[in-house]
């Protein structure tokens, strides 16, 4: 009996590991999410009933319950060297000449990989089980970040059985934060007045250095393996083969690794990625070029801190020069005042930009940026425009330093610096600027999704006094809207219909729409699943909130405090009285895409890469990475790549995002 249960537990674990592998490594999920969740729940139940069988490599044991005290250090069995940089084709050719000389005329080839802008990590597996994970540190010793690395689902806690599981194997790779998660995280930080991460690399590093791994688990970190550290038995003769063995172990390796026969081919691959990189859903800052043969790597050896057989090719940062037209101060939904630079529109890394957040007043002071200044704009992590330099020598005469506002530019209410001093907050609870932001967020696409209730209309509704809180939206009549400037009969009807339709949004959207500090859609979904009803969530005692695995103590306290506030409860009552009925529904099952193989290319407006893959999977479809005759259709976003040409060539159907949304019944 006991043996049976043990066997059953091990079987479930093995099944879950296989599905993680199919999802995170091969990108070819075979079962819908619900089925995965069922297997997971089954395993958790069995383990709870028989805790003696819980082992650290179980898929249920990724997140530790308690924060850690601090980070220990780990000495790397083999030092983690850094890689020398090159910036142009000439430097690459010089590198190739050194290789040719070092190998004394022997044949050689290269492997070219993407240089992911994240944090280098060394994972140590013993008998196939992840025993520790360390940052690079100074190359000799790094920080022990095992607890946090365990929360990254792309990293297997147990390697899949390959023909021979190694006694010891160290895998090196990059932990990174996908672009969408980075943007969402910074948006959340802006709202709560915390300092922002400058780029996805800092965000990944910061997330790995958290003392509470429950928070790390929410940061959507991911991983690609790219090199071998210590290993008991040689894995292969070539780096190329090592990467393929990694995949067999269940480790994610980026699909775009390429072999190159000579340096010309290397240069060609590098320059094609310089353009293609904007289509990835994570950031790369260059390419890494390695001599393929491990024997030859050994012959070439290392100089001091970096290997001779490997070099990186860094992409140039894209910059543009423009002139500041004004510096405006905006008030956010929690009252934070943010200075924003408005400048002459300029083309930067493929898009036209005309404004950049200056983050806070210390930053404005540091840059001493003024109206009329000529400035250099760069995209932080290639995503968010930033003012990086003020050309003071070009400053026109008579400019004045920017003055930090002494009152809220919107309501003229009092302002106060927050604890760490960098942020100013409007203290007026009735600030209309804050209210407008709250309403915009409430009606936003990821919350109540009220399509025709845009910023301009919200502005008018608040200014005329028609809407003073969320509930007032649902009391609006068509006549009210018609009285506003420039509103025609048809648009007024559309607005009223959209508001009406939003009354029955799922519970998680409703929770997200309230704008509780640090609660984004993801946490809202967790809360909806956990409590399944609004009253239960509102009355949840603090220990009940703290017990939820994926929610940290600070966030639990925020939720608790929010629902203990009389004013908040009154607004929610008002919403319910006005006919809003948030219901919890388990994700509806649909087989709209059953049996379909779909290739996605280009940038989508509504989905990041993982999200679209997840969605296709949820609706019973399958994603593939390349177009073939077996492809049912290609979903093409903005700036599609060569996959689109291939589709046209093979006569495979191509659809756009709108058509896709229709297919799955979202519009």
Hey, which residues are catalytic here?
115
Which of 159, 175, 215, 408 contacts Zn ion by CB under 5 A?
408
Using alpha carbons, list the distances in angstroms from residue 249 to 22, 73, 114, 244. Answer: 12, 26, 21, 9
Binding segment (CB under 5 A) for Zn ion, from list 81-89, 118-126, 422-430, 542-550: 422-430
CA-CA distance, 247 to 154, in Å (whole number)?
Answer: 12
Q: Is 336 in the site for Zn ion (CB under 5 A)?
A: no
Give the interface segment with Zn ion, choosing from 413-421, 443-451, 526-534, 584-592 (CB under 5 A). Answer: 413-421
Q: Which is nearer to Zn ion, 442 or 474 (CB)?
A: 442
481 binds Zn ion (CB under 5 A): no
Q: Give Cα 658 distance to the centre of its chain.
A: 23
Q: What is the 3-state secondary structure (H, E, C) of 262-290?
A: CHHHHHHHHHHHHHHHHHCCCCEEEEEEE
* Residue 411 near Zn ion by CB under 5 A: yes
Shortest Cβ 335–Zn ion spacing (Å): 7
Tokens matching residue 137: 């540190």
Q: Does the protein bind Zn ion through residue 415 (CB under 5 A)?
A: no
Q: How far is the CB of 209 from Zn ion (least distance, A)?
A: 35
- If one asks whether residue 327 binds Zn ion (CB under 5 A), the answer comes out as no
Please identify, using beta-carbon distances, which residue of 6 and 407 lies nearer to Zn ion: 407
Contact status: 58 vs Zn ion (CB under 5 A): no
Alpha helices in 209-350, H assignment, sequence order: 213-217, 239-248, 263-276, 294-300
Q: Is 413 in the site for Zn ion (CB under 5 A)?
A: yes
Rounded Cα distance between 164 and 337, Å, is 59
List Cβ neighbours of 107 (8 Å cut-off, separation of 6 or more): none
Non-local (6+) Cβ contacts of 589 within 8 A are 32, 34
The tally of CA atoms less than 13 A away on the side-chain side of residue 289 is 31
Among the listed residues 22, 2, 11, the one whose alpha carbon sits nearest the alpha carbon of residue 58: 11
3-state secondary structure of 219: coil
Asked if 329 interacts with Zn ion (CB under 5 A), we say no
Selected from 410, 558, 608, 631, the binder of Zn ion by CB under 5 A is: 410
Residue 332 or 621: the one with the smaller Cβ distance to Zn ion is 332
CB of 404 to Zn ion, least distance (A): 15
d(CA 129, CA 57): 7
Question: Residue 411 or residue 603: which is nearer to Zn ion going by CB?
Answer: 411
- x/- letters, 433..452, toward Zn ion (CB under 5 A): x-------------------
Contact, 130 vs 155, CB < 8 A? Answer: yes
CB of 192 to Zn ion, least distance (A): 17
Q: Which range touches Zn ion (CB under 5 A), out of 13-21, 116-124, 300-308, 407-415?
A: 407-415
Which CB, 173 or 433, lies closer to Zn ion? Answer: 433
- Residue 465: both structure tokens together: 């006094």
Shortest distance, position 474 Cβ to Zn ion, whole Å = 25
Cβ distance to Zn ion smaller for residue 415 or 507? 415
Long-range contact pairs involving 438-441 (C-beta distance under 8 Å, separation at least 24): 438/333, 438/470, 438/515, 439/467, 439/470, 439/473, 440/333, 441/333, 441/513, 441/515
Question: Among 210, 431, 471, 516, which residue sits at the site for Zn ion (rule: CB under 5 A)?
Answer: 431
- Count of residues binding Zn ion (CB under 5 A)? 8
Kindly tell me which residue out of 228, 243, 369, 426 binds Zn ion, with binding defined by CB under 5 A.
426
| Least CB distance to Zn ion at residue 196 (A) | 22
DSSP state letter for 195: P
Residues in contact with Zn ion by CB under 5 A are 408, 410-411, 413, 426, 428, 431, 433
């Amino acid at each position: 009996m006991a043996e049976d249960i043990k066997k059953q537990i091990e079987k479930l674990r093995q099944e879950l590991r296989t599905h993680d592998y199919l999802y995170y490594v091969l990108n070819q999920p075979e079962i819908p999410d619900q089925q995965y969740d069922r297997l997971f729940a089954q395993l958790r139940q069995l383990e709870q009933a028989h805790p003696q069988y819980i082992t650290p490599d179980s898929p249920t044991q990724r997140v530790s319950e308690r924060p850690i005290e601090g980070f220990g250090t780990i000495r790397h069995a083999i030092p983690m060297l850094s890689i020398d940089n090159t910036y142009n084709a000439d430097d690459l050719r010089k590198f190739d000449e050194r290789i040719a000389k070092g190998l004394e005329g022997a044949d050689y080839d290269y492997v070219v990989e993407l240089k992911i802008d994240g944090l280098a990590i060394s994972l140590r597996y013993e008998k196939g089980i992840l025993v520790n994970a360390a940052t690079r540190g100074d190359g000799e010793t790094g920080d022990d970040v095992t607890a946090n690395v365990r929360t990254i689902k792309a990293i297997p806690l147990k390697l899949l059985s390959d023909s021979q599981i190694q006694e010891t194997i160290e895998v090196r790779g990059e932990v990174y934060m996908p672009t969408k998660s980075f943007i969402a995280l910074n948006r959340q930080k802006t709202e709560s007045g915390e300092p922002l991460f400058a780029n996805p690399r800092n965000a990944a590093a910061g997330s790995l250095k958290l003392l509470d791994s429950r928070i790390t688990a929410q940061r959507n970190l991911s991983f690609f393996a790219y090199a071998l550290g210590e290993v008991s038995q040689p894995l292969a003769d070539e780096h190329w083969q090592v990467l393929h063995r990694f995949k067999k172990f269940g480790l994610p390796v980026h699909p775009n690794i390429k072999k190159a026969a000579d340096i010309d081919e290397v240069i060609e691959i590098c320059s094609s990625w310089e353009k293609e990189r904007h289509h990835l859903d994570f950031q790369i800052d260059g390419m890494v070029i390695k001599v393929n043969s491990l024997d030859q790597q050994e012959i070439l050896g290392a100089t001091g801190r970096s290997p001779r057989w490997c070099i990186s090719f860094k992409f140039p940062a894209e910059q543009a020069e423009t002139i500041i037209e004004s510096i405006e101060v905006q008030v956010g939904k929690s009252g934070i005042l943010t200075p924003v630079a408005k400048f002459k529109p300029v083309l930067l890394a493929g898009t036209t930009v005309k404004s950049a957040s200056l983050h806070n007043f210390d930053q404005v002071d540091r840059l001493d940026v003024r109206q009329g200044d000529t400035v250099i704009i760069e995209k932080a992590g290639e995503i968010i425009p930033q003012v990086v330099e003020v050309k003071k020598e070009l400053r026109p005469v008579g400019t004045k330093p920017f003055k930090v506002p002494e009152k809220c530019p919107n309501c003229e209410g009092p302002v106060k610096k927050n604890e760490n001093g960098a942020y100013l907050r409007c203290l007026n609870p009735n600030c209309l600027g804050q209210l407008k932001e709250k309403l915009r967020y409430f009606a936003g696409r990821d919350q109540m999704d009220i399509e025709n209730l845009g910023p301009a209309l919200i502005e008018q509704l608040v200014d005329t006094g028609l809407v003073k809180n969320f509930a007032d939206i649902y009391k609006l009549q068509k006549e009210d809207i018609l009285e506003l400037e420039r509103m025609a009969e048809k648009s007024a009807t559309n607005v009223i219909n959209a508001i009406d339709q939003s009354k029955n949004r799922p519970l998680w959207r409703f929770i997200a729409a309230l704008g509780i500090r640090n609660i984004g859609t993801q946490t809202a979904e967790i809360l909806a699943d956990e409590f399944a009803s609004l009253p239960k969530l509102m009355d949840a005692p603090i220990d009940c909130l703290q017990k939820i695995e994926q929610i940290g103590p600070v966030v639990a306290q925020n939720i608790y405090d929010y629902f203990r506030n009389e004013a908040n409860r009154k607004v929610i009552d008002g919403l319910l009285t006005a006919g809003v009925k948030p219901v919890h529904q388990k994700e509806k099952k649909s087989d709209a895409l059953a049996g379909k193989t779909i290739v996605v290319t280009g940038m989508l407006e509504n989905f990041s890469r993982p999200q679209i893959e997840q969605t296709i999977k949820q609706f019973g479809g399958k994603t593939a990475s390349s177009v073939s005759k077996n492809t049912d259709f290609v979903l093409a976003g903005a700036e599609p790549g060569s996959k689109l040409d291939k589709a046209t060539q093979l006569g495979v159907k191509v659809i756009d995002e709108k058509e896709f949304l229709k297919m799955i019944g979202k519009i």
